Structure 1
Amino acid sequence: MSTPLPDRLSSNPNSPYYDEELLKRGVGIRFKGQEKTNVDEYCVSEGWIRVAAGTARDRHGNPLTILLKGPVEPYLKDSAEG
């Protein structure tokens, strides 16, 4: 009935885990029980998310990210009861 979400998903178009159609539908992330809106990439099986580290950029102009470990729960935002 509901679309299964991938184990790993990235919002970076250069990543092999990028899925534009799925991202257009709206994917929400609960990390350690709290809603996160700044997630660049997640992996459920390994239990981590990658978030931007402020406004810092690498030498190629990409945002620097940090890895946070803990339970990850992705869900589709458009599947909410309405």
Structure 2
Amino acid sequence: MALRFIGIDPNTGGNGSPTAWVDPDTADLVIQGWRADEGTERECAEFEIPGHATGIPTHETVIRIPARMVPVLREACDVAERGELR
């Protein structure tokens, strides 16, 4: 699997950078972001959605992506949706 790099946080300073890729085999988005703080994780875990269990499964996590990354995520979504994966 060779991920297609889409973009990185434009304000990156070299110490961990929210980043977006697309998996060309599945069109899945692969996102690197900041680990959410405990309060955000707790709020997400307690959020009730009809037909969905509360909590965060051990194989999932909550990440935070800065708003300035919206254009990068939009491009990643467009690439995945249009099948422009190679």
What is the TM-score when the length of structure 1 is the normalising length?
0.25
Instruction: Judging by fraction of residues, say which structure has more helix.
Output: 2
What is the TM-score when the length of structure 2 is the normalising length?
0.24
Instruction: Judging by fraction of residues, say which structure has more strand.
Output: 1
Higher Cα Rg: structure 1 or 2? 2
Higher relative contact order (CA 8 A, sep 6+): 2
